[in-house]
Structure 1
């Protein structure tokens, strides 16, 4: 790290200089969630689905694309009818995220929507990827997302990257290094796909120890897919967010462990680090249960089995803290 006129300057993996306010400089604004309609206080999120997808496509999921805006609107309306107020879409760059459609859906349904920048695993792309991911992430977080948006494009509100099964290969390390650079330039939270719930220790070492990203700015997705209770406890102890997602897919083999994990972590005092999301990624999952499952089934069950206070903490209080950051200009 070097200094440039009183501002901290981090050199990215590509040699790009990304300026960030110096550590001594106060935040330029209050903490806010960056939705597709603009920034707002975290308290306005209400009941939140912390990880889901209204639009998504991947060559790994042929014929299962989520691309129908009318179907997405129906999902959001049913979600809202059962008390849902906000949804965070983790679909990153190049995977059919349709951020322009998200703006229209937010306006039509009243549901607060957050879009993502970032890059998934390389296997989810067929086209050439951006040569400077950090530059892409910062641009989409501060100026608006690229591609296919009429009028002023909405800004992304988080960075989505992905690990590998039990480790981090060169591509994952490169995209996570870029995510760390973009975090320091903007303040954005970083959401991480953990392949089958593994690799949390490697991710935290790379992002937090090497990349100097505060653990409170890291969201670890899919932890419920690995039944290692010690790993879950250590991840919570680090200060990172633990995102238990996927219950909208009734066929997912690990969903039956969800309440055991939640109750254990709550008993151990880590309730303030937990988030819940549906992670609806296929047309089949949408047809079976989809986004409304979070408010129609999961939240009432959490309230019934773990208590109303826990339900409010996991669906309202925690998302308000996890996604609201001091954005840097």
Structure 2
């Protein structure tokens, strides 16, 4: 019998239809030298944040924290069970600046195998399997590190079927990423999720990426270095009007402790509390419902081996 597409959560594979309202890009745990003293390490705070998201109507969260950045994989099933929210974990590798050079050297020659192992066997010794691969581009470019990680991600994708999610630095480089992943490395465009497009509101690039067949993620409220919230409804509506409503994803991308709702920031509930009603005015409630439920179910599902 052919495999049935499923979303691989930290509690096991589930039907895409079971995700409920999905935050398609966020973080429960994250530690990086680029975010000193703002680490997401507190399991109690993560539980409270996830419970607040659940209380706002949320059903699932996709955590884009990759290898080596404090995923706390063993804690994720406990959070999912205690809050009733599906959690999808990531394998993958972020930009080089997030890691010690020694660690990157140790991973040379075995990165694709690591990704495959974390997708099929588990993250470290936790037994929690990743549900997708997260990699990152450079600013308006695919640098050498990005080419290395994306090549490994493509190999792991071809071996497992896992979707590939891409951090676009300040929303840039989308077409270069697609040229590499889909043009050179043979990944089907609908298996690629492009993140942070809200940070670079270039409607021409958005349209070209959608034409190629990729999923387009608008994830996270504006920060000081990319104050683009006011552009997002127009960008999303332009894509929907062009027939690409089925390619849109939304997320919160909470990356620091101060940004959590339990600490006074927007946090995970902001997606449903503020973004959802605002975009309903631009897109209508029916399409917004599909963007938050059906689209993530397709984007993050795979015919797992």
8 Å CA contact 1:248–1:289 kept in 2: the answer is no
Q: Deviation at 1:68? A: 0.7
2:273 is aligned to: 296
1:13 is aligned to: none
User: 3-state DSSP class of the match of 1:85?
Assistant: strand
1:192 is aligned to: 166
Call closer, same or farther: CA 1:66–1:248 in 2, change over 3 Å: farther
1:31 is aligned to: 5
Runs ≥4 residues deviating over 3 A? 248-252
> Deviations along 1:63-91, whole A, 9 cap, x unmatched?
11011111111111111111100000000
2:283 is aligned to: 306
Q: State the alpha-carbon separation in 1 of the partners of residues 222 and 163 from structure 2.
A: 24
Q: Deviation at 1:305? A: 3.7
Work out which of the residue numbers 70, 81, 91 in structure 2 matches 1:107. Answer: 81
Call closer, same or farther: CA 1:210–1:251 in 2, change over 3 Å: closer
Counterparts of 1:1-329 in structure 2, within 5 Å, are 27=2, 29-126=3-100, 127-129=102-104, 130-131=107-108, 132-146=110-124, 149=126, 153-247=127-221, 252-286=226-260, 287=263, 288-328=265-305
Q: Deviation at 1:200? A: 0.8
Q: State the alpha-carbon separation in 2 of the partners of residues 186 and 133 from structure 1.
A: 14
User: 3-state DSSP class of the match of 1:161?
Assistant: strand
Which has the higher mean CA deviation after the structures are superposed, 204-213 or 288-297? 288-297
Q: Deviation at 1:304? A: 3.6
Q: Deviation at 1:251? A: 8.1
User: 3-state DSSP class of the match of 1:159?
Assistant: strand
Q: State the alpha-carbon separation in 2 of the partners of residues 284 and 248 from structure 1.
A: 14
Q: State the alpha-carbon separation in 2 of the partners of residues 289 and 53 from structure 1.
A: 13
8 Å CA contact 2:6–2:304 kept in 1: the answer is yes
More helix by share: 2
Call closer, same or farther: CA 1:248–1:167 in 2, change over 3 Å: closer
Gaps of 5+ in 2: none
Q: Deviation at 1:301? A: 2.4
Q: Deviation at 1:128? A: 1.0
Call closer, same or farther: CA 1:83–1:284 in 2, change over 3 Å: same
Q: State the alpha-carbon separation in 1 of the partners of residues 252 and 209 from structure 2.
A: 21
8 Å CA contact 1:275–1:319 kept in 2: the answer is yes
Q: State the alpha-carbon separation in 2 of the partners of residues 143 and 160 from structure 1.
A: 17
Q: Deviation at 1:306? A: 2.2
Q: State the alpha-carbon separation in 1 of the partners of residues 299 and 224 from structure 2.
A: 26
- After TM superposition, the score normalised by the length of structure 1 is 0.88
Larger Rg, first or second structure (1 or 2)? 1
Q: Deviation at 1:313? A: 1.6
Call closer, same or farther: CA 1:235–1:79 in 2, change over 3 Å: same
Q: Deviation at 1:243? A: 0.4
> Deviations along 1:157-189, whole A, 9 cap, x unmatched?
000000001111111101000000000000000
Gaps of 5+ in 1: 1-25
Q: Deviation at 1:248? A: 7.4
Paired positions, count: 298
